[in-house]
Every structure is written in structure tokens, then in C-alpha cells.
Structure 1
Amino acid sequence: MELRGEFLIAMPMLTDPNFRQTVVCICEHSADGALGLIVNRIYPALTAKDIFEELKMKYVPETGPLPVYNGGPVHTGDLFVLHEPPFGWEGCRPIRPDLALTNTKDLLAAIAEGQGPRRFLILLGYAGWGPDQLEAEVLENSWLTVPVDQRVIFDTPVARRWADAMKLMNIPDPAFLSGISGSA
């Protein structure tokens, strides 16, 4: 089961407060485990300007304040950027041909100066799974999986991302989902 480049969509019965109604973009997945970023949770009192000031980078806002996303409960002080091309940044790790993960200062400096990718999210922390842990959670029906759709990440208002990700699976109302599965 290869999940890199997939969304994990939390099932309605997933009650863990870290993941309830989340949409996670899986950035890395191997036999050693998985790393993903939650794309539908914002830190309400934190903006990119705060991050750039802490990093002592001059911030030239183009469109006003940029939100900072809560990428997950692991290493919540680590900074990540989920972005579209260009991908020439130091340490850039492509997820798909049109989406990558970077967590180096050269990209952050470019964003602060208004020279970075056109579309991106700045995130603190990540969601992580050990070997076979994510696969087990998918088989237990904690998560639905669907290929990443960048419209959900970059074009959909944060409050609608979970519901819109469900619609990618033709699920108009998640209330009708069951946590029980079987086979015939």
C-alpha cells in the first residue's frame, strides 16, 4: 500500500482530538513509516509574519497575513512548507510532479521576500507513523484515502476542506459512513 501523494481523510468516528475531521497530505511513506501534514487546521493566533520575525527574516507581505497551519502533533516546533513548483530549493522533496515538501531556510527566505512559489502552506509540526502503523489504521477504517487534489489544499476555505475531500470520494454526507467494513 503506497500512500505518498494521497490524502488521508479522517473517518467521522475518529475521535482523537489530534486528527478529528482532518485531511492529511501524505508526503513520505516507506517501510520505515510515514510522514504527513494536516492541511485543514490553522493556528488562529499565529501568522507567517510571526515566524519570519522569529527567524529574523524581513517579511514583505504581498496579500496580507499568511496563516500558519498545525501540521500535526509531532515536533510541533519544526517548520514545513507544502508547495507547488518551482522545486529547486535546498532539501526539496517532491511528493508528486506538482507538489513538494521543503523545510529549509532558502525557501522560507524567498517566501518572506515575496519570491517563493505562487501557492504554498506554512506548517508547524507533522503527523508521523511508525512501520506498518498507518497501514493498520487504514485497514481499521480510521482513514479514507484518495489521491491529493491541490484544489482542496490551495483553493478551498479551511473550514470546508474535510467535507470537500470527502466529496472527492463521492461522499456527499459523511454522517452516512459506517466504521464497520466487511467482505463478501
Structure 2
Amino acid sequence: MNSLEGQMLVAMPDMADERFVESVILLVGHGSEGAMGLVVNHELANLRFADILDELDLGDPDAVIRLPDTIRQRAVMRGGPVERGRGFVLHSADYKSGNTYPVTSGISLTATLDILRVMAFGPAPKASLFVLGCCAWSPGQLEGEIADNGWLTVPVSGDIVFRTPVEERYEAALASLHITRATLSPDAGHA
């Protein structure tokens, strides 16, 4: 089996599971035991990074209030329907801790509180994305969904994950395959 770790999944237009409609998912793990990924293009409404800092008591409340709006108002992403209360940070590879897992050569994953403090109070990684929850597939499940035309696989792009505006990431992921929503057929072709 070829691992898809470090690839992105893009939901096909006829995605039956409403939780994944128009989703772009970065696969952070894929092997014989299953797969795990994080949705990178759906924000949680009414929740911002400062709310997480307050909830977890990760800084003096006065210091959190004084943070620049660019940090306080950062989006929190809906990473998936599994472990919705657990946080994950996708970030550029310039930050490393003992708990950092390299997903690709340029993107890493850290799921401990230290990364949240660093994101707020520095020195922060050049790029980061805070995600609550994840996606998980049992062994063979993801491969079956891909074979059933549920997902496209797309090479990872740090630009899409970190720099493309959230509402444009689905279209940007499709564009990386030189297709658009209009040219994407929901019908699978099998030879």
C-alpha cells in the first residue's frame, strides 16, 4: 500500500456525508492501521484563537487582551468530527518541540499546549493553523472511499494550507489539478 500521508483530499461534488461537503483535508497519517487527517478549509463560527487561550488559561488575561487583533481574532478550524475537543496545530517546519511530528518537509503537526503559547506570545512559527477535531478512517476505509469516487488526492501545498484565504482553499486545491468545480464530474471512470 502506498501511503497518502502528506497529501490532501478534496471532496467530490456529490459527497454524501454533509460533514465533508467541499472539504480539503490534509492527511497527517496513513498506513495499515488507518488514516488521520485535518480539514483545513472550514472555520468554526463564533470561536476565535483568543477564546481558546482564555478557556485553557494559557496566559495572563491582561496579556491575552493586549495581543494584536491578528492573533486574537485568528480563525479556529473545524478539523473533523472525531475528537472535536482536541486541538491540533499545523505549522511550518521552522518550529520544533519534543512533541512535533513532521507531516511533510515543510509542514509539521504539534498537539500540545506549548505550541499555543508560542503562537500567542512568540516566537511563533512563520505559518500556523489551529484546528479542533480530526478525521479518522479505519484500515482500508479511506482507500474504499477513494475507489468509490468520494475523494480526489492532491499534492500538498503550504500555500493552500496557510496562505490562501479559507473560503478559497477548495477552489485552489482543485486548481492545483488544473480543474474547476464546473469541469469536475461526479462520475468515476474505471478502466
The answer, yes or no, to whether TM exceeds 0.5 is yes
Listed as ranges, the matches of 1:1-150 within 5 Å are 1-58=2-59, 59=64, 61-62=67-68, 63-64=70-71, 65-150=73-158
Moved more, 55-64 or 119-128: 55-64
Q: Name the CA shift for 1:174/1:29 in 2 (closer, same or farther; >3 Å).
A: farther
TM-score for both structures, normalised by structure 2: 0.91
Judge conservation of contact 1:81–1:101 (CA < 8 Å) in 2: yes
RMSD: 1.4
Judge conservation of contact 1:25–1:36 (CA < 8 Å) in 2: yes
Partner Cα distance (2:135, 2:182) in 1: 23
Judge conservation of contact 1:10–1:22 (CA < 8 Å) in 2: yes
| 3-state secondary structure, aligned to 1:96 | coil
Partner Cα distance (1:70, 1:142) in 2: 20
Partner Cα distance (2:36, 2:182) in 1: 25
Moved more, 18-27 or 58-67: 58-67
Shift of 1:175: 4.9
Shift of 1:50: 0.5
Partner Cα distance (1:146, 1:5) in 2: 10
| 3-state secondary structure, aligned to 1:28 | strand
Judge conservation of contact 1:61–1:114 (CA < 8 Å) in 2: no
Judge conservation of contact 2:93–2:102 (CA < 8 Å) in 1: no
| 3-state secondary structure, aligned to 2:142 | helix
TM-score for both structures, normalised by structure 1: 0.94
Q: Name the CA shift for 1:102/1:172 in 2 (closer, same or farther; >3 Å).
A: same
| 3-state secondary structure, aligned to 1:110 | helix
How many residues are matched? 183
Q: Could you tell me the percent identity over the aligned residues?
A: 35
Shift of 1:30: 1.0
Moved more, 103-112 or 126-135: 103-112
